[in-house]
């Protein structure tokens, strides 16, 4: 029988992304911890746009289609971009654990990623930035409303 600490370690994420803005909360699909937290149980953790959406009663909602390519999912979490000018790319960024801590890697997104005030990626060129507990990740351009706070739990 598994002890309580082992069980707790298995069900508790290593980190979370907390939605900072109402627009960021609006991107989150059913597979999140609640209406403002995305759990990260492993690294690298890949984030991209849910490109399979449909209009239901005037609302854009994700359609539940297969999200697997070459036997593996393209992303660990799929966010729904509700804006007319898309900010989130299909394969936008990943968060990795490094020897020094954590890093955000832009996966060649069109609009880029910002960590606090530092811009990385954009124009399909990618980039890397160190990531600290409490940092704000902005997905998209400087005026993107999609802000998430990175919070480590270990």
**pLDDT, tens digit (0-9, with 9 covering 90-100), for 121-144:** 999 999 999 999 999 999 999 999
- Taking a C-beta distance cutoff of 8 angstroms, is the pair 59, 33 a contact? no
| Bond into 44 cis (ω within 30) | yes
Write the DSSP string, 68-103: EETTEES-SEEE---SSS--S-TT-EEEEE-SSSEE
What is the fold of 4-152?
Answer: Tumour Suppressor Smad4 (2.60.200)
Beta strands 45-49 and 77-79, pairing class = parallel
Range in 12-16, 34-38, 81-85, 94-98 with the lowest mean pLDDT: 81-85
pLDDT at 84 over 80: no
Domain-wise residue ranges, the chain: 4-152
Under 8 Å between Cβ of 102 and 152: yes
The residues pairing with 60 across neighbouring beta strands, listed in sequence order, are 55
Per residue in 88-106, pLDDT (tens digit) is 988 999 999 999 999 999 9
Closest CA to 95 of 20, 8, 14, 24: 14
The pLDDT assigned to 65 comes to: 47
Instruction: State pLDDT tens for residues 30-50.
Output: 667 788 999 999 999 999 988
Q: What radius of gyration do the chain's Cα atoms show?
A: 16
Identify which of 150, 23, 17 has the alpha carbon closest to the alpha carbon of residue 81.
23
Distances (CA, A) of 14 to 47, 64, 95, 153: 16, 27, 12, 5
CA terminus-to-terminus distance, the chain: 24
**Residue of 43 and 52 predicted with greater confidence:** 43
In this prediction, residue 71 carries a pLDDT of 60
pTM: 0.84
Quick one: pLDDT band at residue 70, thresholds 50, 70, 90?
A: low
Q: Which residues contact 143 (CB under 8 A, 6 or more apart)?
A: none
């Amino acid at each position: 029988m598994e002890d309580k600490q082992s069980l707790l370690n298995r069900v508790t994420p290593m980190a979370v992304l907390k939605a900072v803005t109402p627009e960021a909360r609006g991107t989150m699909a059913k597979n999140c911890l609640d209406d403002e937290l995305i759990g990260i149980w492993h690294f690298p953790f890949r984030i991209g746009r849910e490109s399979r959406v449909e209009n239901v009663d005037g609302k854009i909602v994700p359609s539940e289609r297969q999200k697997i390519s070459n036997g593996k999912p393209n992303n660990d979490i799929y966010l729904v971009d509700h804006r007319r000018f898309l900010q989130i790319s299909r394969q936008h960024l990943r968060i990795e654990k490094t020897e020094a801590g954590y890093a955000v890697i832009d996966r060649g997104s069109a609009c880029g990623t910002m960590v606090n005030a530092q811009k990385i990626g954009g124009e399909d060129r990618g980039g890397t930035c160190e990531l600290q507990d409490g940092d704000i990740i902005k997905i998209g351009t400087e005026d993107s409303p999609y802000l998430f706070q990175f919070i480590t739990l270990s």
